[in-house]
Amino acid sequence: MNQDNDWWLARWRVMLLIRRVEEAIACMVETGEVRCPCHLYIGQEAIAAGACAALRREDSVWGGHRSHGHYLAKGGSLEGLFAEILGKTTGCSGGRGGSMHLFAPEEGVLGTVPIVAATVPLAAGAALAYKLRGEKRVALAFFGDGTLEEGHVHETFNLAALYQLPLVFLCENNLYASHLHWTERRLADNLHEAGAFHSIPGQRVDGNDVEAVFLAASDAVERAREGGGPSLLECRTFRWRGHVGASFDVDVGCQRRGELDEWLSKDPLPRCEAALAARGISGPDAETAIEQEIARALDAARRAPEPAADRVLEHICAH
Amino acid sequence: MRTLNYAQAIREAHCQLLARDPRVFLIGQGLWSPWYAGGSLENLDREFNRDRLLDSPVSENAVTGLGIGAALAGMRPIVFHPRMDFLLLGADPLVNQAANWSYLFCGRASVPLVVRAVINRGGEQGAQHSQALHSLFMHIPGLKVVMPATPADAKGLLIAAVEDPNPVLYIDDRWLYGYTGPVPEAMTATPIGKAAVRRAGRDITLIGISWMAAQALEAAQELSAGGIDAEVIDLRSLKPWDRKTVLASVRKTGRALVADPGWRTAGASAEIAATISEDAFDALRAPVARVTLPDAPAPTSPAEEKAYYPCATDIVASARRVLNVFVPELKFAAAR
């Protein structure tokens, strides 16, 4: 299956948007303008861009601490993201959540939270709701490789398989959980097999190849939508920056093994640009437009009001 | 009004909720077994489709997470734990996720989830099948906690819990299942956060929680025979709890005793006693007394169980002490 020119241009735009937004946030972290912990997605853009292209607007995605890319790829408002990170009332979570708590239900971003693995069973719960109501919707859980070390993910695999839920487990294996390389956490390099014991098929995908991610995700999403049950994708990638913050590696004592240079050469963006070039599509105009879009959104977010201090006790309970 | 027992009242609430609202479903262990839920769910799986009563694998944590996700996607799930001890395996999603989402997303999200947990004390079941852990959850902002003590409230609070847009922990006690009382046939919600004055009195306020509210009522009868006129409040909701009703009563009687089926240290009774001291100190004629479990795990042997669980007799003795009436002995004198 070959994707058409519009598809390639759209995916490139999403990936470039995420890259430039994350770079802008990195600058704001370095200057101290942004104080909340930010876990940047740079290097992993092809996964969010490819997977979200396989989803419909009414499908839901769920994420973790490193979810700016998921939010943007699923259609979350850019100004809402900047305002959220700056703690403004116009933020996508009203300025209460910060970088790690993003929410855009109208676009199907049903929530991102930093308790590792927390949204995996929540995504399964949404999938259960879709199934009980007879809706042809799919839930997709984005999570990192460290998430597979949490026990309730394996409970969720079993429940999702048993109830044949319309669910996609999408593991972004960027090789590190915080500061620990996978070899310090696990003996075998076999995360795509994690669901096999629970009858969940798994597949390993080049996570820096947006088309490969899209094709694998499309298969998994269609299988889920048609009642075929859940599946697991392990998308191999690498995070360029530290676990948290703007620096490239050593911020949390992470000993990179010369991998960064190797993975910089696998940058998903030039790979996408090569595909564009091969199709005779050029993107510089789009790049300028993206930079202007970011500047406008950031400016609006900076001018937005901060919450009043007396808001602090509001919304503890819903009414 | 017709009479039901507490378990029948819980069952009727489930039936009516399932019949009325297609968003309601149950998930948890033992839903298809009469043994687990002691009649409170008997044959519901035959009356309704088993798709709406998911007797789940042994996965409390993920099952609670599924409930939260389904609630966020528009359902009204009831997650069931036939033994409250196992709720701890699902405490992470309840505390970290369900309780926080409304606040985190500034009211743009809410988690209309009911977690039902059964206190299953006695019967030589020991430390891991007997716990009353309500105080742990009462500590968490964003969670509501209810503990009905009568059949009518067992039904009414379950209805209120399912109708509430927030996560509600509904705790029932197997020791109450045989208690009978009038229960409305209609779906009448018992308001969350409102206590009930079960007996009016002048001399002392007995504030009871769950089974201890029933014991407090028995204690009041006995105290009455000795000329002490006790007011009995059934707290019903622990979070939020009805400060207004409790404080008004204590202002009237000048004395208070809290009877809690949980442990003493940092328990519900401590919170209530502290609040009375803060807000009605001027009205108090004696220190606030507490009748609670001692700070010890539940034993199994019948002899130790008898010593471990306080009941109406202990409330009577403690109330007499508050009123400076001679008390020959107290069961937990050492613990106090």
Nearest to A124 by CA among B274, B188, B299, B61: B61
| Nearest Cα to Cα of residue B256 among B270, B241, B246, B242 | B246
Long-range contacts at A103-107 (CB < 8 A, ≥ 24 apart) = A103/B104, A103/B105, A103/B108, A103/B109, A104/A71, A104/A74, A104/A75, A104/A76, A104/A77, A104/A80, A105/B108, A105/B109, A107/A57, A107/A74, A107/A75, A107/A76
Q: Which residue of B lies nearest to A103 if distances are taken between CA atoms?
A: B105
For an interface test with A, the pick among B18, B52, B58, B72 (most A C-beta atoms closer than 10 Å) comes out as B72
Give the residue among A33, A24, A109 at the shortest CA–CA distance from A64: A109
Residue A246 pLDDT: 85
Chain B: nearest CA to A130, how far in angstroms?
8
Nearest to B103 among A119, A163, A316 (CB): A316
Q: Predicted confidence band at B336 (pLDDT cuts at 50, 70, 90)? A: very low
Percent of chain B with pLDDT over 90: 93
CATH of span B196-322 = 3.40.50.920
Which residue in A105, A118, A127 is closest to B97 by CB distance? Answer: A118
Residues of B in contact with A105 (CB under 8 A): 108-109
At B335, the pLDDT band (50, 70, 90 cuts) reads very low
Interface of chain A against chain B, CB under 8 Å? 60, 62, 93-97, 101, 103, 105, 110-111, 113, 115, 118-130, 132-133, 139, 151-153, 155-156, 158-159, 162-163, 314-319
Residues B54-79 pLDDT 10s: 999 999 999 999 999 999 999 999 99
Q: A319 vs B93: CB contact, 8 Å cut-off?
A: no
Chain A residues close to B56, C-beta within 8 Å: 159
State how far the Cα of B329 lies from the Cα of A114, in Å rounded to an integer: 53
Give how far A316 is from chain B: nearest CA, Å: 5
Mean pLDDT of residues grouped by 10 in chain A (319 residues)? 88 96 96 95 97 98 97 98 98 97 98 96 98 98 97 98 98 92 94 97 98 98 98 96 80 67 93 92 82 97 97 95
Structural domains in chain A? Answer: 5-175+189-304 (3.40.50.970)
B88: closest CA of chain A, how far (Å) = 13
Q: Which of A152, A169, A198, A313 to mutate to test the interface with B (most CBs of B within 10 A)?
A: A152
Backbone φ and ψ for A189, nearest 5 degrees, come out as: -90, 75
Tell me the two tokens of residue B91. 């405490």
Q: What local confidence, expressed as pLDDT, does residue A285 receive?
A: 76
pLDDT of residue A1: 53
Instruction: Give me the mean pLDDT over the B295-307 stretch.
Output: 95
Considering Cα of B60, then B61, then B62, then B63, what sign does the dihedral take? positive
Query: Which of A20-24, A259-263, B10-14, B93-97 has the lowest average pLDDT?
Result: A259-263
Beta-bridge partner residues of A167:
A139
Chain B, nearest residue to A124 by Cα: B66
Q: Is the CB of residue A180 less than 8 Å from the CB of residue A20? A: no
Q: CA nearest B57: which of B29, B87, B35, B34? A: B29
Would you mind telling me the total number of residues written for chain B in this entry? 336
The three-point CA angle B175-B176-B178 to 5° equals 100
- Given a contact cutoff of 8 angstroms between Cβ atoms, the answer to whether A149 and A118 are in contact is no
Starting at the earlier edge strand, list the strands of the sheet with A231-236.
A109-112, A60-63, A139-144, A167-173, A231-236, A202-206
Pick the CATH number of B3-182 from 3.40.50.970, 2.70.98.60, 3.30.930.10, 3.50.50.60: 3.40.50.970
CB-closest option in B51, B67, B105 to A101:
B105
Task: Return the active site residues of B.
Answer: 129
Query: What is the residue extent of each domain of chain B?
Result: 3-182, 196-322
Give the integer Cα–Cα distance in Å for B99 and B111: 8
* φ, ψ of residue A73 in degrees (nearest 5): -65, -30
Distance between the two ends of chain B, CA-based, in angstroms? 43
Q: Tell me how many degrees the CA angle A239-A293-A40 measures, rounded to the nearest 5.
A: 15
**What's residue B35's pLDDT?**
83
Its pTM stands at 0.96
Residue B324 pLDDT exceeds 90: no
Of B64, B73, B109, Cβ closest to residue A129: B73
CA A44, CA A239: separation in Å to the nearest integer? 6
B41 near B31, Cβ under 8 Å?
Answer: yes
User: How is A110-170 classified by DSSP, letter by letter?
Assistant: EEE-SSTTTHHHHHHHHHHHHHHHT----EEEEEEGGGGGSHHHHHHHHHHHHTT-SEEEE
Chain B residue with minimum CA distance to A89: B106
Residue A171 is given by DSSP the state: E
pLDDT digits (tens, 9 = 90+) for B230-286: 999 999 999 999 999 999 999 999 999 999 999 999 999 999 999 999 999 999 999
Nearest CA of chain B to the CA of A62: how many Å? Answer: 10
pLDDT at B328: 56
Length reported for chain A: 319
The answer to whether the Cβ–Cβ distance between A129 and B102 falls below 8 Å is: no
Q: Which of B66, B71, B74 sits opposite A121 (nearest CB)?
A: B66
Is the Cβ–Cβ distance between B180 and B151 less than 8 Å?
Answer: yes
Contact residues on chain A for B70, CB-CB shorter than 8 A? 125-126, 128-129, 132
Q: Are domains B3-182 and B196-322 of this chain identical in fold?
A: yes
pLDDT at B230: 98
pLDDT digits (tens, 9 = 90+) for B134-183: 999 999 999 999 999 999 999 999 999 999 999 999 999 999 999 999 99
